[in-house]
Amino acid sequence: MKKCLNISLVYAIAAMAGGVFYREFTKFNGFEGTTVLGKVHTHLFLLGMLMFLVIALFSAHFKGLHQQKLFKAFLCVYNVGVPLTAVMMAVRGVTQVLGMELSKGANAAISGIAGIGHIIAGTGIVLLLLALKKCAKPGAEE
């Protein structure tokens, strides 16, 4: 449980830093519009901090959760996918704020890597659900 709370804290700090960066970077560049950069803050709060707070509650209920191979795999996979997604969202947002003209290849690369981050995070969520299902006591209410 403590590990999940520590991870949650790291994501909360990253989310706050992302929010401050968004506000200051757009203000410094005189940008007034919609950008993906503004969504980095909420992605890190929800997919990072809130997710691990909920997992901490589950781990308090399911005592063997942290010892499961599926849960350990979830931690590795998910904590690669979410930051990768957030970083690529930040890259996309910075290019939008600066008004950079991207080549088709660069545009596709940013989208592709962000998509891979989403797929990795989604795989992590499936691993978590399988780990939680495995921890559920047989014969519990359905």
Burial class (CB within 10 angstroms; exposed 0-12, middle 13-18, buried 19+) of 110: middle
Q: Mind listing the pLDDT tens digit for each residue in 110-130?
A: 999 999 999 999 999 999 999
Residue 6 — pLDDT band, cuts 50, 70, 90? very high
Residues 1, 60 contacting (CB under 8 angstroms) = yes
Contact 129, 74 (CB under 8 A): no
pLDDT value for 139: 56
Q: Which residues of 97-106 are buried (b: 16+ CB within 10 A; e: fewer)?
A: beeeeeeeee
Residues contacting 92, CB < 8 A, separation 6+: 36, 37, 110, 111, 114
Give one word for 30, left, alpha or beta, with left for phi > 0 and alpha for psi -120 to 50: left
Other Cβ atoms within 10 Å of 62 Cβ, number: 17
Average pLDDT taken over every residue of the chain: 93
Q: What's the whole-model pTM score?
A: 0.90
The pair of structure tokens assigned to 25 is 């970077």
pLDDT bin (cut points 50, 70, 90) of residue 141 is low
Residue 140 has pLDDT above 60, yes or no: no
pLDDT digits (tens, 9 = 90+) for 37-67: 999 999 999 999 999 999 999 988 888 888 9
Condensed to tens digits (0 to 9), the pLDDT of residues 75-114 reads 999 999 999 999 999 999 999 999 999 999 999 999 999 9
